[in-house]
Amino acid sequence: MQPTPAKLVLENGSVYRGTAFGHIGEASGEVVFNTALTGYQEILTDPSYAGQMVLMTYPLIGNYGITANDNESGKIWASAFIIRELSRIHSNFEATESLDTCLKRAGVVGLAGIDTRMLVREIREKGAMRGFISALDDDEDSLKKKALAVPEMSGQDLAKTVTTTENYAVENIDARFHVAAFDYGIKANILRMLQNSGCRVSVLKAGTTAEEVIKLNANGVFLSNGPGDPSAVGYAIETIKQLVDYNRTTRPLPIFGICLGHQLLSLAFGAETYKLKFGHHGSNHPVKNLQTGTIEITSQNHGFAVNMETLPADLEMTHLNLYDNTVEGVRHKTLPCFSVQYHPEAAPGPHDSHYLFGEFIELMERAKN
């Protein structure tokens, strides 16, 4: 059977021709590249990729198939998957299906056979761009118009589109702490890490109010990762401000934020955020812990960052990105509130930053006593 031709057209008119796999159809979104060598299943199911078409820099993808245990959420959130070469076979004793079959079942478009190095270079030089993939429409002018019609990522609140529709509990019979976790696009491994750290977790919709959180009488609050522009999630920023005030006036309530949660916490304290040229996506980003001087290799997935120049006096930077000197972590000087821009739970990625969950536990232990 002959492969189906397909093409990607960027908003600037650049054209990349390849072949379709997965769902044979059309897809759109912001094109971003990910430098991870493995973990394509976790990447596809990470809600932080909502509204984005993911381009993998590693050339051969699909060689270990899809397994039942590696999903980071209940569905694929990436709007399309762009690769150099799709492995014709997969070898993994846990695999239940191929990547191609998985994308077909999920209705997600795949594009293979393009020059991924050229596309990565274009994104690095010109910045992340909107794109349109089609195996149905061959008219490049038409596809460019469709790409230009895709909403820009700036100004989009996508947390409301990926958050849980109902609050739910993640139980732990040996729990020493109760954590209220905001789901702005939370990953499954974050919940596992919290469980393994001795917590039971109440997972809350993005729009949950501070009053509702306080009623839970939790030991700590977790602010999750998620997609979109942090400055557009005004209701979350307001809720976090109220929880910070509760910290100041009533009792210590430790707050730990990751990725979008880090940006929202920083905004709540008065800092500003901005859109990065092409974002940080991968599992090999070096970050310096400014408190210990150690270098961590981290997993990252974000297109916005906190502006270092706008950090208020009571918020100190704790971690620095060694690729571009952007803010990778902050903590409040007097309140039990801290956050990191990267993903200490990894999945996929290294385990260098697992210690941060221990720091959260320590803050809750102190607050409890």
Cα pseudo-dihedral 30, 156, 77, 87, rounded to 10:
10
Vertex 180 angle, CA 360 and 176, to 5°: 60
Q: Which two tokens stand for residue 8?
A: 């990607």
Residue type, 176: R
Helix 260-268 to helix 234-249 angle (10° resolution) is: 60
Catalytic residue among 102, 199, 259, 337: 259
* Dist. CA 357–CA 196, nearest whole Å: 10
Residue 254 Cα to chain centre, angstroms: 22
345 is catalytic: yes
Catalytic residue among 11, 122, 328, 345: 345
Using an 8 Å Cβ cutoff, are 62 and 98 in contact?
Answer: yes
Residue 47, classed as helix, strand or coil, is helix
In DSSP notation, 222-240 reads EE----S-GGG-HHHHHHH
Question: How far is the CA of 332 from the CAs of 244, 311, 337, in angstroms?
Answer: 10, 10, 6
Pairing status of strand 220-223 against strand 255-258: parallel
199 is catalytic: no
Locate all alpha helices (DSSP H) within the chain, ordered by sequence.
40-44, 99-106, 116-126, 140-148, 159-162, 188-196, 210-215, 234-249, 260-268, 355-368
* Dist. CA 322–CA 287, nearest whole Å: 6
Closest CA to 303 of 78, 49, 10: 49
Closest CA to 77 of 39, 50, 98: 50
Question: How far is the CA of 58 from the CAs of 29, 51, 89, 227, 236, in angstroms?
Answer: 21, 22, 17, 23, 36
259 is catalytic: yes
- Residue 34 DSSP symbol: E
Note the residue count of the chain.
369
Task: Tell me the catalytic residues.
Answer: 259, 343, 345
